[in-house]
Amino acid sequence: MDFGVHVFGVGAMADPDALSQVARRAEELGYHSVFVADHVLLPTHMASRYPYTADGHFPFSVESDWIEPLTALAYLAAETTRIRIGTSILVLPYRNPLVTAKQLASIDCMAKGRLIIGVGTGWLEEEFRLLGVPKAERGVRTDEYLALMKALWTEEAPRFVGRFFQVADARFFPKPLQKPHPPLWVGGESTPALKRAATLGDGWHSASCAVTELPHKLDQLKTLRTQAGRPWTGFTISIFPTERLTLELVQRLEGMGVQHVMSPVYHPDPSRLMERLERFAREVVEPANRA
């Protein structure tokens, strides 16, 4: 089992020293990956319901520093040597996919092939409005952007005709170091999100999944992968379970086919986060690795 650490890059964890210290310590402790989150600008008044808390409340202050995730990953690429670095998640429809593909390919080269690209469609209506992107188009844009980025990363002379973007008579370099491209882990719990993960992704990255719901979702993913003619082997299941993550639960999840779990160590205070990081490593990561 691989263990990821979500540091978000918010508030005190937007500080470069805190960000690098936590990432390097996670690397030393045997964690597999470290992730940062994505928001561009937050509305002062937020009516949208946050999908990952029981009451729908957004758990961060809109006044907090929120480091841009791809900038943070480029920094972490230089500050670490082994741990994989990724987004959890990058809101793809917010961005120009040509520029985003370039940034991600460059980060993968600078990180020497350690990038994981967690992507999603987003949820915050007010942020879509501020960015001038219709929220109603978020799904079709995400699908098109994923297909376009793959073409840029894998084709010598990329050609693409979509609803929003067209590419011809152009070259795109550098290509990512990982072949055919860095792993794309698609987030989301809905049926459209599962379909997107199965048909366009290399993994499913769940931000909130009850263990009791997991078998049904895995069955859905397997069916969708089969219908798309894509093999189940090599498809990564990454989850953040809603239940308390113990060694026993990790072993149970591994038996169900989960390969990656997000560790419940986040705290807005970097020193407290570091304490949790070390305690979880002693209690779960190290015993699981030995087993």
Q: Say which range, 103-107, 139-143, 203-207, 209-213, has the weakest mean pLDDT.
A: 209-213
Task: Tell me which residue range forms the domain holding 16.
Answer: 2-290
CATH number where 271 lies:
3.20.20.30
pLDDT for the residue numbered 85: 98
Neighbours of 200 (CB within 10 A): 18
pLDDT digits (tens, 9 = 90+) for 90-136: 999 999 999 999 999 999 999 999 999 999 999 999 999 999 999 99
- DSSP, collapsed to helix, strand or coil, labels residue 222 as helix
> What phi and psi values does residue 271 have, to the nearest 5 degrees?
-70, -40
Instruction: Tell me the mean pLDDT in the region 208-217.
Output: 93
Q: Are 192 and 224 in contact (CB under 8 A)?
A: no
> How many domains would you assign to the chain?
1
Indicate the pLDDT class of residue 208, thresholds 50, 70 and 90: confident
pLDDT for the residue numbered 286: 96
The one-character DSSP state at 284 is I
